[in-house]
Each structure stands twice: as C-alpha cells, then as structure tokens.
Copies of this chain bind each other. A is one copy, B any other.
C-alpha cells in the first residue's frame, strides 16, 4: 500500500487564485510565460514559482524554444479530477436515494 492519491496535490496546485487563473487562460490554448504573467500584477520570479508548482503537480507541461517557454495544459490531470468528483458525487447521491427510500418507507408505518 505505497499508493497515495495524487489528487490532493492537484487540488493544492489549483488552490491559489493566480494558478487557477493561469489554468483558465491555458484552457484557451498554450501560451508563453510572459503572456501568462501579463494579467497578474506580480514580479516575474514570483509568477515563475506558480508555474513551477503547476508543472510539478502535473497540470501543465512546457517546452522552451529559443528564449521563450511555451506552457500548455495536461488534459489527463483535469480528467482525473473529473473522474474522482464524479465517482464520489455518485456514491453520495446513491446514498441520498437510499435515505429517501428509507424515509418514504418510514412514512408508511
């Protein structure tokens, strides 16, 4: 049982407003570091840290060509989040159904 879920890490990466906004921007297509940084009134290095967090979390990849680094989304990451949420919401709703059934049953008595 050496297997820790990677999801808390993904969530952590998305828990910062700056990083969250970056992901939203990237959903519109890849962008350079400076394009991504532009909307955020923040010093370059501070912003870079955020990008590194996103990349270490696996939400984002990047390639550097010449002096420009182009960053893009990794769809698998979003997919795994979606799968997890879907599964747990489903379990929960199933439970609510059983509760509803129980209450209805109770009502009859």
Contact = CB atoms under 8 A, between A and B. Distances in A.
Interface in A71-108: 73, 75, 78-79, 81-82, 85-86, 88-89, 91-93, 95-96
B85 A89 contact: no
A79 to B, nearest CB: 6
A45 interface: no
19 contacts: A5-B20, A7-B20, A8-B16, A11-B12, A24-B88, A26-B92, A27-B89, A27-B91, A27-B95, A28-B95, A29-B95, A75-B89, A75-B93, A78-B89, A78-B92, A79-B89, A81-B81, A82-B86, A82-B89
Interface of A: 4-5, 7-9, 11-12, 14-17, 20, 23-24, 26-29, 73, 75, 78-79, 81-82, 85-86, 88-89, 91-93, 95-96
